[in-house]
Structure 1
Amino acid sequence: MIVLGLTGSIGMGKSTTAAMLAEEGVPVNDADQVVHDLYRSEAVAPVAELFPDVIVGGAVDRQLLSANLAKNPAKFRELEAIVHPLVRTREKAFLDRQRDLGQDLVVLDIPLLFETGAQDRVDRVIVVSCDPEVQRARVLARPGMTEEKFQLILARQVADSEKRAKADYVIDTGHGLDTARAQVRTIVRELREQAKRTNHA
């Protein structure tokens, strides 16, 4: 089974690309969704110890959490020390399940793939990218996004040029959905062929 890592900086079109991969029948483990689920389950108690005022109705309120982190950026590390091991446990369960089902190709959608060293846990990496102007327009169009918040997020991410250099595949999402979808299909076809050859070897 080939494990494909999917990543890209904010506003590059990663979620859209993940949806396209899923449409091609490739199981996708979405790290963001996993974190979302954890913030309503296992992560609540440990996060409450670190940020007691971000728990609302028994769950972590992500907006309160990000406001809190903006004021205390040093606490990012402590939060990551809580969340990352929990995400890894869920990820392992996903991979075991897909292996049991006999899948030839799966995707781990990991926003901070290079930043957290997750490239060591995957066989290939897709980086989604587009021109900085397109990225900026997409991000600033998001509700509640400010220039300051955007810069703070960018500062925590490996530069796009560096991600592209480290990637096995780069999908350019700046030229419309059809072009991106065609790139996704080509990659999936190529990797499925590789998986088939490996299985027959």
Structure 2
Amino acid sequence: MTHLLGLTGSIGMGKSTTAQMFRDEGIPVWDADAAVHALYAKGGAAVPKIQAVLPDAVIDGQVSRDILKKMISEDLSVMSKLEEIVHPLVAQHRAAFIATHNDPLVVFDIPLLFETSAQDWLSSVLVVTVPAEVQKARVMARPGMTTDQFERILARQMPDAEKRAAADHIIETLTLDDTRAAVRKLIAELKGQTDA
């Protein structure tokens, strides 16, 4: 039986770095953001569907994320139209990934995991976290990031304390070495449960 581990955490908490650590240990990782990028790219399944509803968002045969961001900021109803198109396609992409990975442990990197009720189909959920001041320092160090942007992103995400309260596993990502050690320990623990 495959253990489906959800991986999430607010912006700047170390989720992408932690996902890579699972990959480094040979664990298959499905990345929700990468799935959306593939759907938006030339030839992606979302392109014709988005073009039919939001024609201005498609440039040179691919969906422009920048144009979409601008459209959403001007009209919030664009977000729900987009979700109606993209969520079923992402679910198909994920199902295909699960079907091709019969491993004891598979990780699902999902930024809005709780916000999209993904915990309902997962075996357990790992939340990565750091104190708020570390999170803010990490995010503000990103090129082009503004305080306003950071606050807007946080407003769309479930608060860190709520995520931690709903998690089955928590890893604090203050240092790479400690994070890697915690990832290895969790893999051993979950594989042990799966093998039983």
TM-score class, shorter: over 0.9
CA distance in 1, matches of 2:72, 2:121: 28
Q: Secondary structure at the match of 2:70?
A: helix
Map of 1:71 onto structure 2: 74
CA distance in 1, matches of 2:119, 2:143: 31
Q: How does 1:125-140 map to 2 (within 5 A)?
A: 125-140=125-140
Map of 1:182 onto structure 2: 181
Per the normalisation by structure 2, the TM-score is 0.94
Q: Secondary structure at the match of 2:158?
A: coil
Map of 1:31 onto structure 2: 32
CA contact (8 A) 2:15 2:128 kept: yes
Q: How does 1:38-57 map to 2 (within 5 A)?
A: 38-40=39-41, 41-57=44-60
CA contact (8 A) 2:10 2:160 kept: yes
Matched to 1:178, the amino acid is D
Give the RMSD, CA atoms, in angstroms.
1.1
- How far apart are 1:50 and its partner, in Å? 3.3
- How far apart are 1:66 and its partner, in Å? 1.4
CA contact (8 A) 2:71 2:78 kept: no
CA contact (8 A) 2:7 2:107 kept: yes
Matched to 2:29, the amino acid is V
Change (3 A) 1:113 1:35: same
- How far apart are 1:7 and its partner, in Å? 0.6
- How far apart are 1:152 and its partner, in Å? 1.4
Q: Secondary structure at the match of 1:128?
A: strand
Map of 2:15 onto structure 1: 14
Q: Secondary structure at the match of 1:125?
A: strand
Unaligned runs of 5+ in 2: none
Map of 2:170 onto structure 1: 170
- How far apart are 1:84 and its partner, in Å? 0.8
- How far apart are 1:146 and its partner, in Å? 1.7
- How far apart are 1:61 and its partner, in Å? 1.4
Alpha-carbon displacement from aligned partner over 1:59-107 (angstroms, at most 9, x marks no partner)? 11112211221222232122111111100001001111112xxx11101
Matched to 1:9, the amino acid is S
- Runs (4 or more) in structure 1 with deviation over 3 Å come to none
Alpha-carbon displacement from aligned partner over 1:6-63 (angstroms, at most 9, x marks no partner)? 1111111111000000111110000100000000111112222333222222111112
CA distance in 1, matches of 2:148, 2:51: 27
Unaligned runs of 5+ in 1: none
CA contact (8 A) 2:4 2:124 kept: yes
- How far apart are 1:151 and its partner, in Å? 1.4
* Aligned residue-pair number: 193
